[in-house]
Structure 1
Amino acid sequence: MKNNNFRKSGLAIAMMAIMGASAGAHAAIELYNEDGTSFSVDGYFNAFYVNRNDKARDVRNSDVKMGFLPNTIGFNFSKEIGDLTLGGRSSFWSTINDSIESPTDTAIDVRQLYATVDGSFGQVLIGKDFGLYGRSNIFLDEILMGFGSPGASSTGVSFGNIRTGYPYPNPSAQITYRSPDMGGLNVAAGIFEPANTTPGSQSEQSAPRFETEVSYSADLSGVALTGWVNGRQQSSENATTKIDSRGVGYGLKASVAGFSLTASGFSSKGDVPILINEATIPTGLSSEEDADGYLLQASYTLGANRFVVSYGETDSDQGNFETDNTSIAVFHDVNSNFKLVAEYNMFEQETKSTGVKAADANTLALGAVVMF
């Protein structure tokens, strides 16, 4: 029985889906494999020269930053015992963007720390991993290894198309079941740690957060198709307010003869469509307002080069903003482990209640990615 632990990790999905290569070309480096037990390491490193002109603030900055994906190192474990394969993954995601503000205090966060049990029944994951709601929307983003829209802070990552087409499937404590592959059909469902969206007197979340994703892949006369639907639901209440947070994400990707077209979107209520956690809503939510967004992308691969055009929008009553983001990017594979990136990004954000433009930023990003 072959363990699928690395193959299903977020970083592995990104590498395989975006680079259009086989899993073997980007598999982790195997350090040990004897008697049914294996241990491997994978890594992802990147840096960009970034020149941004924010016309809303009348400011131009030049920086050296990491891209949408942080620098990462991951450790993978697998052991076959009878009819089961036990696995585990821990990945450390680190910023390089804090080198001036806090030169010896590089932030490290552990986005994946989980164990898996694989068998003929499928897989059960226990621990911390990316969520299911919005998962394929972001992992199949054509500019995932690029830069994208500006982030929320100078020391954090850029945002890619987060809040301009999809929400972030933030890593959460979870217990998730994944079905075996059923002729291209895959089903995942799990319970997650809920977010306290109603802090205050007698605040409670009496049930876990529920998330699920159903995906289907097929090849129809040479056209590779992947479609998906994912969703999330949770409730939180205090002495005066109850908030039901729910959302649905969806998408379709078609590829043929080097061309790829992707369309995805989401619709939600009762959350800010960036990520659902207590840091983004410290005072809680008072209502279950709407948000929705979509992302349209086209790419063409010619030899070692992949050309991408991307456009996304999000409209959020809860967050009181409208955004749109356009990216034009070129990815050049020097080899299977080394990539060069050139991207031009145009991001705008408007405050809905006032009509004031909060951001109007054009960004040139030139970078390199090394992975193993």
Structure 2
Amino acid sequence: MKACTKLALPLGLTLMVSTANAAITLYEDQNQSVTTDLLVNVFYSYSSNDKLADATDPDSGVISREQSRVRIGFLPNYIGFNYNTEVNDLKIGARASFWVTLNDTDLYRGAEGLGTRSGIDVRQFYATIDASWGQLLLGKDFGLFSRSNILSDELLLGHGQTSDYYGLIDGGNVSFGNIGSGYTYPFPKAQITYRSPDFSGFQLAVGVMDPNKRSANSSEDSPRFESELTYNWKNDSVNVKAYVSGVTQSSKDSHADTNSNGYAGGLRLGLAGFALNASGFHSKGLGTVAGLDTIIVDETNKSDGYLVQGSYTLDSERFVVSYGKTEVESMKVTNLTYDNLTFAWFHTFNANLTLVAEYNRTEVEGAAAIGRIEKNDVVALGAVVTF
């Protein structure tokens, strides 16, 4: 990827796009360029699932089933376009990316009949202004809270968990990676975000974002605020990445006020071919899976989670062991615990093709009186193609 393209991409997203190693240049002259990048992934997955018929009743009986799928993994397939120009010492950039699923037909069609229901998910559509004072991003992009937690995941190009409690076994979209079992999802938001210049490896991002609503008629008299501080350092054999992020906003209606807050952080250490990655988060009044849910849940809803991973890379092979856990406390629903254990092998066939073999065990537990709600084992074999 050319340097000018990287300037248009916020810190963290570059990690995702740079898995392609090189974007394809569509146009370039002395002052401007247009490049494109693409990701396609597909997995064969086999799941064996045991789940309580009623998640609130330990005597409801267990439903067991096995399911084979051909589906996408943790990342949706996408195509992105990057625009860059330089005028009067300002670097002006833009990115538009369009994300799709392969699984756009229902496994159970019922009376709906055959056919596809393809939808294009526009997760990024923004412009950037870069100068000596930093960068200003204007538009739609991933949030800052928990952003580096997910983008630092060693299994970003893998398959991940498919809990049936979330409806993922038969789901028509992505698997979940470690969402809900280690971190929340930084849902794309309309935003105005400032990023500071790099100060000896430190970079600060502060964003004003479109707020989320408690209910259809709720009032939000101030926007959502999110921030992230990152630190990156490396030499020939050692690399370090550390990060902290936060979110706050409020929403009120005739029933109650909801103050939503959260913080997250993590550290990744790499030494030669070894890497250790650890992250965690705490949130209150936010969604337990996507921390940026459309409707904010009750303020009594609290979530805490962490993710610990180890990896080793030798030539074309990378091996990952991962464990993530999220605990949810709420007065309105049964307290729940989600955890996911993963073993994965990535084989880099060449700069554009990676092969993946992965095993996930996901367990969901309720209160002590209920015990285990679900156990789901998934074996996934797939390929990831990037440009």
TM-score higher than 0.5 here? yes
Aligned-partner Cα distance in 2 for 1:7–1:278: 25
Describe the SS at the equivalent of 2:123: strand
Bigger mean CA offset, 286-295 vs 60-69: 286-295
**Aligned positions of 1:143-154 closer than 5 A:** 143-150=155-162, 152-153=166-167, 154=171
2:87 pairs with 1:85: no
TM normalised by structure 1 equals: 0.92
Superposition deviation, residue 143 in structure 1: 0.5
Superposition deviation, residue 38 in structure 1: 0.6
* Partner residue in 2 for 1:179: 196
2:184 pairs with 1:167: yes
After superposition, give the CA deviation of every residue in 1:150-186 in whole Å (9 maximum; x if it has no partner).
1644101111000111000000000000111111101
Runs of 4+ residues over 6 Å off in structure 1: none
* Partner residue in 2 for 1:295: 307
Describe the SS at the equivalent of 1:217: strand
Superposition deviation, residue 219 in structure 1: 3.3
Aligned-partner Cα distance in 1 for 2:119–2:329: 32
After superposition, give the CA deviation of every residue in 1:271-310 in whole Å (9 maximum; x if it has no partner).
122114455x4xx534333210000000000110000000
* Counterparts in 2 of 1:225 and 1:278: CA distance versus 1, 3 Å: closer
* Partner residue in 1 for 2:316: 304
Matching residue's letter, 1:28: A
Aligned-partner Cα distance in 2 for 1:221–1:339: 24
* Partner residue in 1 for 2:225: 210
Aligned-partner Cα distance in 2 for 1:70–1:286: 30
Number of equivalent positions: 360
* Counterparts in 2 of 1:199 and 1:99: CA distance versus 1, 3 Å: closer
Superposition deviation, residue 3 in structure 1: 5.0
Aligned-partner Cα distance in 1 for 2:7–2:117: 31
Preserved CA contact (<8 Å) 2:323 2:341: yes
2:27 pairs with 1:32: yes
Preserved CA contact (<8 Å) 1:10 1:130: no
Describe the SS at the equivalent of 2:6: coil
1:47 aligned to 33, 42, 55, which one? 42
Preserved CA contact (<8 Å) 1:5 1:89: no
Preserved CA contact (<8 Å) 1:243 1:288: no
Preserved CA contact (<8 Å) 2:203 2:230: yes
Superposition deviation, residue 105 in structure 1: 2.2
1:64 aligned to 70, 77, 87, which one? 70
Q: Which runs of 5+ in 1 are unaligned?
A: 20-24
TM normalised by structure 2 equals: 0.88
Superposition deviation, residue 13 in structure 1: 1.2
Q: Which runs of 5+ in 2 are unaligned?
A: 52-62, 108-113
Preserved CA contact (<8 Å) 2:27 2:34: yes
Among the aligned pairs, what percent are the same residue?
44
**Aligned positions of 1:191-340 closer than 5 A:** 191-200=208-217, 203-219=218-234, 222-279=237-294, 281=295, 285-318=297-330, 320-340=335-355
* Partner residue in 2 for 1:22: none
Describe the SS at the equivalent of 1:334: strand
Aligned-partner Cα distance in 1 for 2:142–2:378: 28
